Protein backbone atom coordinates (compact mmCIF):
# COMPACT_ATOMS: atom_id res chain seq x y z
CA UNK A 1 0.00 0.00 0.00
CA UNK A 2 1.24 3.44 -0.97
CA UNK A 3 0.84 5.80 2.03
CA UNK A 4 1.97 9.42 1.62
CA UNK A 5 2.36 11.91 4.48
CA UNK A 6 2.10 15.46 3.14
CA UNK A 7 5.34 17.27 4.03
CA UNK A 8 4.78 20.98 3.45
CA UNK A 9 7.07 22.40 6.13
CA UNK A 10 4.38 22.74 8.80
CA UNK A 11 3.76 19.16 9.80
CA UNK A 12 4.86 16.72 12.47
CA UNK A 13 5.70 14.31 9.65
CA UNK A 14 8.43 12.27 11.35
CA UNK A 15 6.40 11.45 14.47
CA UNK A 16 3.53 10.26 12.24
CA UNK A 17 5.93 8.26 10.06
CA UNK A 18 7.52 6.61 13.12
CA UNK A 19 4.08 5.78 14.58
CA UNK A 20 3.09 4.06 11.33
CA UNK A 21 6.38 2.14 11.28
CA UNK A 22 5.70 0.90 14.82
CA UNK A 23 2.42 -0.50 13.47
CA UNK A 24 4.18 -2.19 10.54
CA UNK A 25 3.33 0.32 7.79
CA UNK A 26 5.80 2.28 5.69
CA UNK A 27 4.97 5.77 4.44
CA UNK A 28 6.64 8.30 2.17
CA UNK A 29 6.88 11.98 3.12
CA UNK A 30 6.27 14.21 0.10
CA UNK A 31 5.04 17.59 -1.08
CA UNK A 32 4.96 16.47 -4.72
CA UNK A 33 1.38 16.80 -6.05
CA UNK A 34 1.77 13.79 -8.39
CA UNK A 35 2.99 11.51 -5.57
CA UNK A 36 0.16 12.69 -3.32
CA UNK A 37 -2.50 12.20 -5.99
CA UNK A 38 -1.23 8.67 -6.76
CA UNK A 39 -1.18 7.53 -3.10
CA UNK A 40 -3.61 4.93 -1.78
CA UNK A 41 -3.90 6.79 1.54
CA UNK A 42 -2.88 10.37 2.37
CA UNK A 43 -2.09 11.76 5.84
CA UNK A 44 -2.15 15.56 6.26
CA UNK A 45 -0.49 16.48 9.58
CA UNK A 46 0.17 19.96 10.90
CA UNK A 47 1.63 21.92 13.76
CA UNK A 48 1.98 25.67 14.10
CA UNK A 49 -0.08 28.56 12.85
CA UNK A 50 -2.86 28.46 10.24
CA UNK A 51 -1.92 31.43 8.05
CA UNK A 52 1.74 30.41 7.68
CA UNK A 53 0.71 26.82 6.95
CA UNK A 54 -1.72 27.94 4.24
CA UNK A 55 1.07 29.99 2.63
CA UNK A 56 3.23 26.86 2.51
CA UNK A 57 0.41 24.82 0.96
CA UNK A 58 -0.13 27.50 -1.69
CA UNK A 59 3.60 27.65 -2.44
CA UNK A 60 3.52 23.99 -3.53
CA UNK A 61 0.04 24.13 -5.14
CA UNK A 62 -1.32 21.82 -2.45
CA UNK A 63 -4.23 24.16 -1.66
CA UNK A 64 -5.67 23.03 -5.01
CA UNK A 65 -4.55 19.37 -4.82
CA UNK A 66 -5.82 18.38 -1.35
CA UNK A 67 -9.52 19.30 -1.76
CA UNK A 68 -9.65 17.30 -5.00
CA UNK A 69 -8.25 14.04 -3.58
CA UNK A 70 -10.51 11.01 -4.01
CA UNK A 71 -8.65 8.48 -1.83
CA UNK A 72 -8.97 8.43 1.99
CA UNK A 73 -7.29 11.46 3.59
CA UNK A 74 -6.58 11.86 7.32
CA UNK A 75 -5.92 15.35 8.70
CA UNK A 76 -4.21 15.66 12.07
CA UNK A 77 -4.33 18.69 14.45
CA UNK A 78 -3.63 21.79 12.33
CA UNK A 79 -4.24 19.60 9.29
CA UNK A 80 -7.83 19.14 10.50
CA UNK A 81 -8.27 22.89 11.01
CA UNK A 82 -6.87 23.67 7.55
CA UNK A 83 -9.47 21.32 6.03
CA UNK A 84 -12.19 23.67 7.31
CA UNK A 85 -13.52 26.83 5.65
CA UNK A 86 -11.97 29.53 7.83
CA UNK A 87 -9.88 29.88 11.00
CA UNK A 88 -10.07 32.68 13.54
CA UNK A 89 -6.29 32.25 13.87
CA UNK A 90 -5.12 35.38 12.01
CA UNK A 91 -8.40 35.37 10.03
CA UNK A 92 -7.23 32.67 7.67
CA UNK A 93 -9.16 31.31 4.70
CA UNK A 94 -8.55 27.56 4.66
CA UNK A 95 -9.21 24.70 2.22
CA UNK A 96 -13.00 24.61 2.55
CA UNK A 97 -13.40 20.82 2.55
CA UNK A 98 -15.58 21.02 5.66
CA UNK A 99 -18.02 23.99 5.64
CA UNK A 100 -17.29 24.92 9.27
CA UNK A 101 -15.17 27.62 10.90
CA UNK A 102 -12.34 27.08 13.38
CA UNK A 103 -12.79 29.12 16.58
CA UNK A 104 -10.46 30.32 19.34
CA UNK A 105 -11.07 28.84 22.78
CA UNK A 106 -12.76 31.35 25.09
CA UNK A 107 -12.95 29.29 28.27
CA UNK A 108 -11.79 29.59 31.87
CA UNK A 109 -9.40 26.67 31.44
CA UNK A 110 -5.72 26.86 30.50
CA UNK A 111 -5.11 27.62 26.82
CA UNK A 112 -3.60 26.02 24.85
CA UNK A 113 -5.46 22.83 25.67
CA UNK A 114 -2.50 20.48 26.22
CA UNK A 115 -2.71 16.94 27.49
CA UNK A 116 -5.05 13.99 27.73
CA UNK A 117 -8.79 14.30 27.35
CA UNK A 118 -11.64 11.93 26.54
CA UNK A 119 -13.39 11.34 23.25
CA UNK A 120 -17.01 10.19 23.19
CA UNK A 121 -20.05 9.85 20.91
CA UNK A 122 -17.83 7.86 18.55
CA UNK A 123 -19.02 7.17 14.99
CA UNK A 124 -17.45 6.06 11.68
CA UNK A 125 -15.09 3.21 10.84
CA UNK A 126 -12.22 5.50 11.91
CA UNK A 127 -13.30 4.87 15.51
CA UNK A 128 -13.92 1.11 15.25
CA UNK A 129 -12.66 -0.81 18.31
CA UNK A 130 -11.96 2.45 20.17
CA UNK A 131 -13.76 2.57 23.51
CA UNK A 132 -16.11 5.40 24.39
CA UNK A 133 -14.37 7.87 26.74
CA UNK A 134 -10.88 6.77 25.64
CA UNK A 135 -8.17 9.31 26.42
CA UNK A 136 -6.27 10.98 23.56
CA UNK A 137 -3.57 13.64 23.45
CA UNK A 138 -4.35 17.24 22.47
CA UNK A 139 -2.24 20.37 21.84
CA UNK A 140 -4.33 23.26 20.46
CA UNK A 141 -5.70 26.76 21.09
CA UNK A 142 -8.34 26.67 18.35
CA UNK A 143 -11.12 24.15 17.83
CA UNK A 144 -13.70 22.91 15.35
CA UNK A 145 -17.18 23.25 16.87
CA UNK A 146 -19.52 20.30 17.21
CA UNK A 147 -21.39 19.79 13.93
CA UNK A 148 -23.01 17.09 11.80
CA UNK A 149 -19.48 16.14 10.65
CA UNK A 150 -18.33 15.19 14.18
CA UNK A 151 -17.40 11.51 14.57
CA UNK A 152 -15.85 12.03 18.03
CA UNK A 153 -16.43 14.78 20.58
CA UNK A 154 -14.51 16.25 23.49
CA UNK A 155 -15.47 18.70 26.22
CA UNK A 156 -13.02 21.37 27.35
CA UNK A 157 -15.35 24.01 28.75
CA UNK A 158 -17.03 23.86 25.35
CA UNK A 159 -18.15 20.82 23.37
CA UNK A 160 -16.02 20.49 20.23
CA UNK A 161 -15.24 18.03 17.46
CA UNK A 162 -12.43 15.67 18.41
CA UNK A 163 -12.68 14.11 14.94
CA UNK A 164 -14.69 14.84 11.80
CA UNK A 165 -15.56 13.10 8.54
CA UNK A 166 -17.03 14.10 5.18
CA UNK A 167 -16.93 11.66 2.27
CA UNK A 168 -13.30 10.44 1.92
CA UNK A 169 -11.94 13.11 4.27
CA UNK A 170 -11.29 12.24 7.93
CA UNK A 171 -9.56 14.38 10.54
CA UNK A 172 -8.56 14.33 14.22
CA UNK A 173 -7.88 17.39 16.37
CA UNK A 174 -5.88 15.19 18.74
CA UNK A 175 -2.60 13.52 17.81
CA UNK A 176 -3.29 9.81 17.18
CA UNK A 177 0.46 9.21 16.87
CA UNK A 178 0.84 10.33 20.52
CA UNK A 179 -2.41 8.89 21.89
CA UNK A 180 -1.43 5.40 23.06
CA UNK A 181 -3.65 2.43 22.28
CA UNK A 182 -6.64 4.51 21.13
CA UNK A 183 -4.50 6.52 18.72
CA UNK A 184 -2.82 3.40 17.37
CA UNK A 185 -6.22 1.82 16.72
CA UNK A 186 -7.37 4.94 14.85
CA UNK A 187 -4.26 4.88 12.65
CA UNK A 188 -4.76 1.14 12.01
CA UNK A 189 -8.40 1.74 11.14
CA UNK A 190 -7.47 4.47 8.67
CA UNK A 191 -4.88 2.30 6.95
CA UNK A 192 -6.70 -1.04 6.99
CA UNK A 193 -10.46 -0.47 7.33
CA UNK A 194 -11.15 2.68 5.28
* Catalytic residue IDs: 77, 175, 177
Residue 8, Cβ density class (10 Å: 0-12 exposed, 13-18 middle, ≥19 buried): buried
Q: Kindly report the number of other CB atoms within 10 A of residue 2's CB atom.
A: 13
Q: Angle, to 10 degrees, between the axis of helix 180-192 and the axis of helix 13-22?
A: 80
Q: Please, are residues 104 and 89 in contact by the beta-carbon 8 Å criterion?
A: yes
What DSSP state is assigned to residue 129?
T
Q: Please, are residues 79 and 174 in contact by the beta-carbon 8 Å criterion?
A: no
Cα-atom radius of gyration of the chain, to the nearest Å?
Answer: 15
Q: Please, are residues 84 and 165 in contact by the beta-carbon 8 Å criterion?
A: no
Amino acid sequence: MNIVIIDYGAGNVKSVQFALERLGFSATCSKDPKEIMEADKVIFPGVGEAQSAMKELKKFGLDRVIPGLKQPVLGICLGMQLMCRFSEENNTDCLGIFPVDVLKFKVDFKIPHIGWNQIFDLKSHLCDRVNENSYVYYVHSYYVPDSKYAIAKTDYGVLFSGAIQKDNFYACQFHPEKSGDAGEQILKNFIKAI
